[in-house]
Structure formats: structure tokens, C-alpha cells
């Protein structure tokens, strides 16, 4: 009889523990999962919106002035390689000299395929402010790959507010 009583007490204690601790913990876990999923969805919406805003901001044309346009293109090419394990990086930029193209640039780098593709992807992103003329992945000396990119930036259209006022003939 005492064994039955002890077994029933243990059974009731186990049921009490299950109802009192396990079930509320499961409910709390499920609620936390729902909150996390909502936060993840919100983060993805914000990330998407940020990407749209960055692309819209990146569609800005090159700064006016030959030197400023060449400097902006050089900075964009450098930023594309920033933080990547690339070697033999060569960047050359020159101004467009009174054409619709503000500056021409060339980037050459050697490295692992993943790093080279990431650099090309950064340049292809509209927020880079760079237009790509040619992108090539070629075999490099000693194995590995070489990325060659020809890029350019467009001159900003003339703003009528920037022009000096016309003088009416006398």
C-alpha cells in the first residue's frame, strides 16, 4: 500500500511539475519564437528599404570638375577592394576631358575567385556610382585568377543655376 501511495504521489508531482513548469515554459518559448520571426521580417524589410535608398543615392552623377570626378572614381575603385585579400592591385584613373564621361578608370587585381567576385559585385552595385564598361576574370601567372575592370562615371548635366547670368546686349 505504501508503495502505491508513494507511486501515486510521485505521479502527481510529475504531473504538477509538467503543468506548472513545462507547459508555461513551452508557451513562453513559442511566443519568443514568434517575436523573433517578426523581428527578423522587420529587419529584412528595413534592409531591403536601405538597399533601395542606397541605390537611389548611388545613382548620383560624378561631381563636377575633372579632378573631383577622377578622385571620386578612384575612391570607388579603392572601396571595392577594401577588406578583401587581393594582391597586385593596380588602379588607374583619368579625367574624361570635356565629354559626357567624367572619368575613366581601370582596376586590376589578383586573388581568390570569391574575393574577386565580391569586388566586382561591389562595383556593379548602383550605390558605387560607377558604370562598368568591361569586367573580365582571367588566369593569372602562378595559378589563381586576375580581375580586370574598366569603369567610368558620367558627368553631371549642367545646372542652369550654376551658369553665370546672361548679359542682355547693349
Say if CB 113 and CB 139 are below 8 A apart. no
pLDDT tens-digit map of 26-61? 899 999 999 999 999 999 998 888 877 666 655 545
Do residue 116 and residue 135 come from a single domain? Answer: yes
Q: What is the number of domains present in the chain?
A: 2
Do residue 26 and residue 76 come from a single domain? Answer: no
Strands 131-139 and 145-154, bridge-based pairing:
antiparallel
SS3 157: coil
pLDDT tens-digit map of 118-155? 888 888 877 677 778 888 888 878 777 888 888 887 76
| CA gap 42, 81 in Å, rounded | 31
Do residue 117 and residue 141 come from a single domain? Answer: yes
pTM of the model: 0.51
6 within domain boundaries: yes
User: What angle do the packed helices 113-124 and 66-81 form, to 10 degrees?
Assistant: 140
Do residue 86 and residue 131 come from a single domain? Answer: yes
Do residue 80 and residue 133 come from a single domain? Answer: yes
Cα radius of gyration (the chain): 31
Amino acid at each position: 500500500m505504501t508503495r502505491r501511495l508513494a507511486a501515486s504521489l510521485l505521479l502527481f508531482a510529475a504531473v504538477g511539475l509538467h503543468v506548472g513548469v513545462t507547459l508555461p515554459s513551452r508557451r513562453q518559448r513559442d511566443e519568443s519564437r514568434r517575436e523573433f520571426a517578426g523581428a527578423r521580417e522587420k529587419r529584412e524589410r528595413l534592409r531591403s528599404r536601405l538597399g533601395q535608398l542606397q541605390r537611389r543615392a548611388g545613382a548620383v552623377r560624378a561631381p563636377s570638375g575633372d579632378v573631383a570626378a577622377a578622385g571620386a572614381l578612384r575612391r570607388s575603385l579603392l572601396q571595392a577592394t577594401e577588406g578583401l585579400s587581393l594582391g597586385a592591385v593596380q588602379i588607374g584613373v583619368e579625367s574624361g576631358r570635356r565629354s559626357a564621361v567624367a572619368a575613366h578608370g581601370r582596376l586590376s587585381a589578383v586573388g581568390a575567385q570569391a574575393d574577386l567576385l565580391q569586388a566586382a559585385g561591389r562595383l556593379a552595385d548602383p550605390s558605387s556610382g560607377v558604370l562598368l564598361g568591361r569586367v573580365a576574370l582571367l588566369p593569372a601567372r602562378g595559378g589563381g585568377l586576375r580581375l580586370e575592370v574598366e569603369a567610368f562615371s558620367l558627368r553631371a548635366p549642367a545646372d542652369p543655376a550654376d551658369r553665370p547670368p546672361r548679359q542682355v546686349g547693349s
